[in-house]
């Protein structure tokens, strides 16, 4: 059979799988060889992801886009194991690749030597993420979900340490419970509908009898809880700040997109399964909205209360997740488009922040930090005597670079202009205040008003906390403990921040892409028809006749 561009759809799964298996044949002492293979694989993933995005967006900025279906085993839908590529899945694949390369480069500084099989686990995590974004049925979603989690367990415990092991075991227990809920929900849905193919479920669910609909919704609710745990919705998010704080920096940077797996699945399934159900628009939209708002409140309080940079980053992840969940609950195309832009921007910013935190904390004394917090709370007691000597202290170049990077992360996380964080929040607020289109006005709902208020307040809280943390880290008297930062460690941070600058400069075309993606999600007919009508490869073609 001749090579077809459609075979690229399976490449994001095959490339990391083959590379991870190949690395097992080499001893861990051959770190340079392993790092080379791992780096080449992630670069190949980036190239393939760009090609897949161009393939899914073949129709330009208008139209439904292209839904590319890959039938494993050449079985017809809905019996085939299908991989489905559309704008949303292509976007998530590209975002994963963009995060993977800086995280991997950063780990080459020292983290990949801290324990065995780092590169194998890293590649298996990429395989699980890519598979979850591409799969077209619930059972294989569970399979890739478990591959992703199994690899994340090893990466979370990488480097050992009491705090990391304690948080890691907690993380494993929570995710095992989520996996059990996942299986229960999938079993109930299959018992009611007789299928697990997502497109086939979208066809059958509106036809379910009223007597069976309660059981179906119960299964969907149980399945939803499993993904809400992963997305970090309050009160299911108690594990997340501690886990992300304890994780190694390059692992935490890649974990930033793992919370978005839950967001992706909820967005995909809610609009695909229940958009056409008689008498309903979406499923659990009110729960998503209320839960998202409560998550914003919880994350905002945590951000204000955080004294350590790691905790600040962990609670910022919750604010990001809460914002996305609340935006999903509004069920408006414009808000969804802005939320997708925010998803990309916030994920890049948080990943850069996790990497930056380790570099900043190398030059900080834990005892001095405690004393600084105490003096801030209770005062210094006496005013320091003025020194008639030199006014001001020259800031070393390393701290200057770290400070600029910290300021850029702060702008992105708080949503201040001119970077992409501001554009993302502005896009969501514009959609809330102009439900009928920009400049057209319309009736602003109470939910939209509350969402706008919480979005602004959370940004103000982040500004306060980030400013406080920056003052402690960079405006304190500079001593001899200037952190030693390698070029291979600061370059990934700069690359991630450069990507957010690219989002800012190219905000117009990217926002139009997000609008087309949101329109396809809210009108999933092209997805369903593309999967159910996917043609098989004829035997004559297979045999070359």
The residues, any chain, with a CB within 8 Å of residue 200's CB and separated by 6 or more, are 77, 78, 531, 532
**In this predicted structure, what is the pLDDT of residue 75?**
81
Q: What is the 3-state secondary structure (H, E, C) of 415-454?
A: CCCCCHHHHHHHHHHHHHHCCCCCCCCCCCCHHHHHHHHH
The pLDDT, as a whole number, for residue 111 is: 84
Total count of domains within the chain: 1
Residue 436's pLDDT is: 60
Percentage of the chain beyond pLDDT 70 is: 85
Q: For the chain, what percent of residues have pLDDT higher than 90? A: 42
Residue 160: per-residue pLDDT: 72
Residue 470: HSE in the Cβ half-sphere, 13 Å Cα cutoff: 18
Q: Which of 95-104, 175-184, 389-398, 410-419 has the lowest mean pLDDT?
A: 389-398
Specify the pLDDT at position 282: 55
DSSP string for 360-429? HHTT--HHHHHHHHHHHHH--SSPPPPP-S--S-PPPHHHHHHHHHHHHHHHHHHT-TTSHHHHHHHHHH
Tell me: pLDDT of 153 over 60: yes
User: Is the predicted pLDDT of residue 534 greater than 60, yes or no?
Assistant: yes
Which residues have a Cβ under 8 Å from the Cβ of 331 and sit 6 or more positions away? 281, 282, 285, 522
Which stretch of 223-237, 280-294, 360-374, 413-427 has the lowest confidence by average pLDDT? 360-374
In a domain, 442, yes or no: yes
The Cα 534–Cα 9 span in angstroms is 14
Write down the pLDDT at residue 330: 87
Query: What CA–CA distance (Å, rounded) separates 206 from 273?
Result: 8
Is residue 341 included in any domain, yes or no? yes
Confidence of residue 38 (pLDDT cuts 50, 70, 90): very high
φ, ψ for residue 461 (rounded to 5)? -65, -40
Q: Would 156 be classed as within a structural domain?
A: no
State the distance between the two ends of the chain, measured CA to CA, in whole angstroms.
Answer: 10
From 302, 335, 337, select the one nearest 316 (Cα to Cα): 302
Could you tell me the CA-to-CA distances from 190 to 77, 185, 201, 219, 472 in Å, in that order?
16, 9, 9, 9, 55
- The pLDDT score that the predictor gives to residue 275 is 58
Burial of 235 (0-12, 13-18, 19+ CB in 10 A): exposed
Q: What is the mean pLDDT of the chain?
A: 84
Residue 352: inside a domain: yes
The answer to whether position 360 is within a domain reads yes
Cα distance between residue 459 and residue 482, in whole Å: 30
Domain, as residue range, for 364: 284-377+398-525
Buried-exposed string 43-79: b where 16+ CB fall within 10 A, e elsewhere:
ebbbebbeebbebbbeeeeeebbbbbbbbeeeeebbe
Spatial contact of 354 and 489, defined as CB atoms under 8 Å apart = no
How does pLDDT run across 336-384, given as a tens digit for each residue? Answer: 999 999 999 999 999 999 999 988 887 665 544 544 444 444 444 444 4
Q: What angle do CA 100, 104, 106 make, to 5 degrees?
A: 120
For the chain, how long is the longest CA-to-CA vector?
Answer: 93
421 φψ region: left (φ > 0), alpha (ψ -120 to 50), beta (else): alpha
Q: pLDDT by residue (tens digit) across 39-86? A: 999 999 999 999 999 988 875 434 456 788 888 877 877 777 889 999
Q: State the pLDDT at residue 63.
A: 44
Say if 407 falls within a structural domain: yes
The structure tokens listed for 346 are 């916030």
Structure token digits, residue 528: 């369903």
Helix (H) / strand (E) containing 470: helix 446-474
Residue 387 pLDDT greater than 60, yes or no:
no
Q: If you average pLDDT over residues 311-334, what whole number do you get?
A: 91
CA 487 to chain centre: 26
- In sequence order, what E strands does 87-188 have? none
Give me the pLDDT at residue 161, please.
79
Residue 417 has pLDDT above 90, yes or no: no
**By the 8 A CB rule, do 350 and 493 touch?**
no
Residue 494 is encoded by which pair of tokens? 């700069």
In this structure, the strands spanning 68-72 and 81-85 are: antiparallel
What predicted TM-score, i.e. pTM, was given to this entire model? 0.88
Over residues 523-535, the mean pLDDT reads 83
Mean pLDDT across 15-25: 92
Is 454 contained in some domain? yes
Long-range contacts of 189-194 (CB under 8 A, 24+ apart): 189/138, 189/216, 189/219, 189/220, 189/223, 190/138, 191/215, 191/219, 192/216, 192/219
Residue 269 tokens read as: 């399934």
The model's confidence at residue 4, banded by pLDDT at 50, 70 and 90, is low
For residue 362, is it within any domain?
yes
pLDDT digits 0-9 by tens, 82-129: 899 999 999 999 999 999 999 999 998 888 787 788 899 999 999 999
pLDDT at residue 543, as a whole number = 46
Residue 489's pLDDT is 86
**Separation of alpha carbons 248 and 259, rounded Å:** 17
> CB 201: neighbour CB atoms within 10 A?
24
β-sheet bridge partners, residue 70: 83
Least confident of 142-156, 306-320, 469-483: 469-483
At 285-320, the pLDDT tens digits run 888 899 999 999 999 999 999 888 889 999 999 999
Q: What is the pLDDT of residue 90?
A: 93
């Amino acid at each position: 059979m001749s090579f077809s561009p459609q075979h690229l759809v399976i490449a994001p799964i095959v490339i990391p799988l083959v590379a991870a298996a190949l690395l097992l044949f080499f001893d861990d002492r051959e770190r340079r060889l392993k790092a080379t293979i791992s780096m080449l694989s992630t670069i190949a993933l980036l190239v393939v992801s760009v090609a897949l995005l161009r393939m899914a967006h073949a129709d330009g900025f208008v139209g439904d886009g292209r839904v590319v279906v890959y039938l494993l085993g050449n079985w017809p839908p809905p019996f085939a194991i299908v991989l489905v590529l559309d704008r949303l899945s292509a976007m998530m694949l590209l975002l994963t690749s963009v995060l993977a390369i800086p995280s991997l480069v950063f780990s080459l500084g020292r983290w990949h030597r801290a324990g065995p099989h780092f590169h194998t686990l890293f590649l298996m995590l990429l395989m699980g993420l890519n598979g979850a974004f591409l799969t077209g049925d619930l059972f294989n979603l569970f399979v890739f979900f478990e591959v992703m989690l199994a690899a994340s367990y090893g990466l979370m415990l990488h480097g050992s340490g009491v705090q990391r092991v304690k948080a890691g075991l907690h993380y494993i227990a929570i995710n095992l419970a989520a996996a059990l809920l996942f299986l229960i929900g999938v079993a109930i849905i299959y018992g009611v509908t007789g299928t697990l193919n997502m497109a086939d479920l979208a066809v059958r669910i509106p036809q379910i009898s009223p007597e069976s609909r309660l059981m179906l919704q119960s299964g969907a609710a149980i399945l939803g809880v499993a993904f809400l745990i992963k997305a970090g919705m309050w009160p299911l998010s108690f594990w997340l700040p501690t886990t992300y704080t304890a994780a190694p920096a390059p692992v935490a940077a890649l974990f930033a997109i793992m919370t978005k797996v839950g967001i992706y699945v909820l967005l995909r399934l809610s609009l695909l399964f229940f958009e056409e159900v008689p008498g309903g628009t979406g499923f659990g939209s009110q729960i998503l909205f209320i839960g998202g708002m409560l998550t914003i409140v919880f994350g905002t309080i945590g951000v204000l209360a955080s004294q350590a940079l790691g905790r600040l980053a962990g609670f910022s992840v919750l604010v990001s997740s809460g914002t996305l969940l609340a935006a999903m609950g509004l069920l408006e195309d414009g808000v969804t488009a802005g939320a997708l832009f925010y998803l990309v921007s916030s994920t890049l910013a948080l990943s850069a922040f996790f990497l930056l935190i380790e570099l900043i904390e190398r030059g900080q004394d834990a005892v001095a930090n405690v004393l600084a917090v105490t003096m801030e709370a209770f005062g210094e007691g006496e005013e320091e005597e003025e020194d008639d000597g030199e006014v001001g202290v020259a800031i070393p170049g390393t701290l200057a670079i770290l400070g600029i990077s910290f300021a850029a992360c702060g702008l992105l996380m708080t949503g201040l202009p001119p970077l992409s964080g501001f554009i993302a929040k502005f896009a969501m607020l514009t959609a809330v205040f102009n439900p009928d289109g920009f400049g057209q006005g319309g009736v602003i709902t109470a939910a939209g008003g509350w969402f706008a208020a919480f979005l602004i307040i959370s940004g103000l809280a982040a500004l306060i906390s980030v400013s406080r943390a920056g003052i402690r880290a960079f405006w304190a008297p500079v001593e001899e403990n200037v952190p030693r930062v390698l070029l291979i460690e600061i370059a990934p941070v700069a690359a991630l921040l450069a990507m957010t600058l690219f989002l800012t400069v190219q905000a117009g075309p990217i926002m139009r892409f997000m609008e087309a993606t949101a329109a396809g999600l809210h009108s999933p007919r092209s997805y369903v028809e593309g999967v159910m009508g996917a043609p098989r490869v004829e035997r004559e073609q297979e045999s070359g006749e």
